[in-house]
Amino acid sequence: MYAKILNNENRLKECKMFDFTVDNLKKDDLRVFFDMIPYISSKVKSFDKSENQVTIYCEDEHNEEVKKELFRLVSIIDTMQGSELEKVVIEDFTDRIPLNKDSVYGDLIKEKIVRELSPGAFAYSGLFLRIYEYFDKKINEHAYNAFDDVYEEVYPVLFPVAEYVKGGYFENFPHYMMFQTKLNNDIDTYEKFASCNASSEGMDEVLKKTFIPRNVLRHATCAAVYPSMENDIFDENEVRCFLVSGKCFRNEESNIKELSRLNEFYMKEYVFVGEGDKMQSYIDKSKKLVEFWIDKFSMNSKCETANDSFFASNYKKLKYFQMIGNSKLEYKFLIPNNDEYISCASVNYHRTHFTKPYNIKKANGEYCYTSCFAFGVERLVYAFLSQKGLDVSKWNEDTIEEIRKYVSL
């Protein structure tokens, strides 16, 4: 038996709750189980987690339906026994002692330095924005210093659904997808919409009358790079380096957490396309920037093997292939007040995953390889301020001097 149910008749507003305990999932798999709960059913209104147990809140008449989906989720994640691989710490800087150990999130909100305008979407100002600009400028500068012939490109946030199908994103990350749509071209629909207000009962009914989405809001900045090179032929030893930046969107549902998991966030990436044997040297040059920050700012952090948050049905298979090939690494920085490490930069080795559907080849007929080095700018800022605190006068001179080269403090 994968899990057991403990019934509880306590109410949360109009919802009832029950406890669901998982006995046989390893730590990493349990994390995925918790992450996937918001996506298993629209009937789940809220949930609390602790150790290997989760308390689910849903409408009473749907309890059995939700329990069934929880069992199904555990069963999916628990498949492919014997293919388990543990994460390996590649570099360990967890002996660094943060200057600050208190939460900064409450003060950022109180002082209106960051403002949540909608769930998981923030406005930034003051110190947060200045450190945000520092990381943005530093990442750009490093690209031009480390690589020859950098292609700096700006792509739209909207991306055709057909291209996301071609790139395999829907198959692997359907739970993250957010779409752009519009109202049907109909006078009655427009008039009803214009007469509704936010509290109007008719608003939901009107919003049902929308076009089938033709565009997806991109979940990663690198997504547009590959179709831009469709059918390109590369020289034998050629590698192209792309510098891409912009807003990305992921449906985090109730997994949104302060500034470490957002629905809308700013991503910067170095994307490399070309000769496979040269990919590692480009990644190594990219790593030097993160290692510079760790050293200069004395950041408590670590680099470890990782896997993407694939949707449950593909989770085990894709996790296994990512980890056995060391095709994903993450630089994780400590948030001291809750003792959690968040991924602020990551390495992805795609091999020919994107070049095959877009027919990107070398002159000898072989498919090119791709890889990328991604930076989550909000996470970098949040981890930095969490470890340094908001009082600049307490930061060491090396830190202040480095940041003042790019922004005012």
46 & 165 share domain? no
Domain boundary among 77, 106, 136: 77
- Of residues 229 and 83, more confidence is placed in 229
What are the DSSP calls for 320-343, one per residue?
HHHHHTT-EEEEEEEETTTTEEEE
345 & 290 share domain? yes
Q: Provide the domain limits for residue 197.
A: 180-207
The per-residue pLDDT for 320 is 43
pLDDT mean over 164-190 = 84
130 & 16 share domain? no
In a domain, 213, yes or no: no
Sign, CA dihedral 162-163-165-170, equals negative
Which parts of 186-290 are beta strand (E)? 215-217, 233-234, 239-249, 264-274
In the predicted structure, residue 179 carries a pLDDT above the cut 80: yes
- Give me the percent of the chain exceeding a pLDDT of 90: 57
pLDDT mean over 362-368 = 95
Count of structural domains, the chain:
3
57: domain CATH number? 3.30.70
In a domain, 295, yes or no: yes
In the predicted structure, residue 7 carries a pLDDT above the cut 50: no
In a domain, 305, yes or no: yes
123: domain CATH number? 3.30.930.10
pLDDT mean over 106-121 = 96
140 & 263 share domain? yes
- Among 87-91, 153-157, 347-351, 398-402, the range scoring the smallest mean pLDDT is 87-91
In a domain, 214, yes or no: no
The per-residue pLDDT for 6 is 42
166 & 190 share domain? no
In a domain, 337, yes or no: yes
246 & 303 share domain? yes
CA distances from 275 to 225, 239, 320, 332 (A): 16, 6, 25, 29
Cα(31)–Cα(305) distance, integer angstroms? 16
The per-residue pLDDT for 337 is 96
Residue 331: which of 105, 97, 90, 142 has the closest Cα? 90
In the predicted structure, residue 123 carries a pLDDT above the cut 70: yes
Residues 6+ apart with CB under 8 A from 337: 101, 102, 103, 104, 386
pLDDT grade, residue 185 (50/70/90)? confident
201 & 237 share domain? no
Give the model confidence (pLDDT) of 281-313 as tens digits.
999 999 999 999 999 999 999 999 876 554 444
pLDDT grade, residue 85 (50/70/90)? low
In the predicted structure, residue 9 carries a pLDDT above the cut 60: no
The per-residue pLDDT for 5 is 41
Domain boundary among 43, 77, 111: 77
Beta bridge partners of 367: 361
- Give me the percent of the chain exceeding a pLDDT of 70: 87
- The overall average pLDDT reported for the chain is 86
Cα(371)–Cα(329) distance, integer angstroms? 12
Residue 331: which of 34, 121, 94, 100 has the closest Cα? 94
In a domain, 297, yes or no: yes
336 & 390 share domain? yes
Cα(202)–Cα(333) distance, integer angstroms? 46
Sign, CA dihedral 280-282-288-289, equals negative
280 & 369 share domain? yes
Give the model confidence (pLDDT) of 312-358 as tens digits.
445 444 444 444 445 789 999 999 999 999 999 999 998 898 999 99
Give the model confidence (pLDDT) of 213-255 as tens digits.
899 999 999 999 999 999 999 998 999 999 999 999 998 887 8
Amino acid at 145: N
322 & 199 share domain? no
Sign, CA dihedral 75-23-317-312, equals positive
In the predicted structure, residue 201 carries a pLDDT above the cut 90: no
Q: What share of the chain is helix, strand, coil (3-state, %, to 5)?
A: 40, 30, 35
In the predicted structure, residue 141 carries a pLDDT above the cut 70: yes
Sheet of strand 158-160, all strands in order from the earlier edge strand to the far edge: 158-160, 215-217, 178-180
Domain boundary among 77, 98, 131: 77
201 & 336 share domain? no
117 & 168 share domain? yes
CA atoms within 13 A on the CB side of 372: 24
In a domain, 246, yes or no: yes
In a domain, 83, yes or no: no
